[in-house]
Amino acid sequence: MSGVVLVARDVAEYPCQVVLLDAAGRPLRTYWHSGHLNLSAVADMDRDGRQELWLGGIANAYRQATVVVLDPETMSGASREEKAGFQLADLGAPREKARLLLYRTELSRSFAPFNRVTEMQAQRDRMVVMTREQTSGRAPDGSIVYMFGLGGDLTGASFASHSISEYQARVAGKMLDPGAYTRDEARLREGRWLKRWDEPRVPARAPAAVR
């Protein structure tokens, strides 16, 4: 990736603009998303020799946490929305490498307007993404840790260790069904791909070199 990426968010509404700038600050490419993308990381997870831009935040039309992956050198257009009121018009079809809605728990659906990505970190051979499942400011809160491996596949999802305390507190207050934690834990990987990864893709484990 050559240049600087700028992410601009509308304070009052949901539009979010991702812009690639050249060394002189001139815009080269622009992508629009219906929902604020607050976290970012750079990595070449599909091993095509070009770094992708990973962005995490909220998809407003779905009221869910989302991960969007872009190639800064080809990104353009506006995210495609199923609800007409959230579609950013006259900006062209989206060019994304991938777009994923992350699972929203019963905890979030009961006590928050949405869940959202709160952490994103590129590691050697994986991308770590964390969501927060409620927004009341309580501590501890419910959080999920997601792992993406080579090729961009979702390889793991688990509750952060403190999450069960939040469920227990809500159950004790008779605000949440006692089975919610178990049901959510079984469904954490039930995300929805709005745009699957571009081909070609690499296997999760690279084959051994032939000698």
Q: Which among 121, 116, 141, 142 is positioned nearest to 131, based on CA atoms?
A: 116
Q: How far apart are CA 2 and CA 23, in angstroms?
A: 9
| Confidence at residue 139, expressed as pLDDT on a 0 to 100 scale | 56
Task: Taking the CA atoms of 30, 77, 73 and 56 in sequence, report the sign of the dihedral they define.
Answer: positive
Per-residue pLDDT tens digits of the chain, which is 211 residues long: 577 899 999 988 999 999 999 988 899 999 999 999 999 999 999 888 889 999 999 999 999 999 999 999 999 999 999 998 999 999 999 999 999 999 999 999 999 999 999 999 999 899 999 999 976 555 557 899 999 999 899 999 999 998 999 999 999 999 999 999 999 999 999 999 999 987 544 444 443 333 3
Task: Supply φ then ψ for residue 185, to 5 degrees.
Answer: -60, -35
DSSP 19: E
| Confidence at residue 200, expressed as pLDDT on a 0 to 100 scale | 46
Q: How far apart are CA 167 and CA 130, in angstroms?
A: 18
| Confidence at residue 59, expressed as pLDDT on a 0 to 100 scale | 97
Token look-up 């929805």 returns 192
| Confidence at residue 47, expressed as pLDDT on a 0 to 100 scale | 87
| Confidence at residue 46, expressed as pLDDT on a 0 to 100 scale | 87
| Confidence at residue 141, expressed as pLDDT on a 0 to 100 scale | 74
Q: Give the other-Cβ count within 10 Å of 86's Cβ.
A: 16
| Confidence at residue 140, expressed as pLDDT on a 0 to 100 scale | 57
**Alpha carbon of 19 to those of 12, 74, 188, 203: distances in Å?**
20, 11, 32, 31
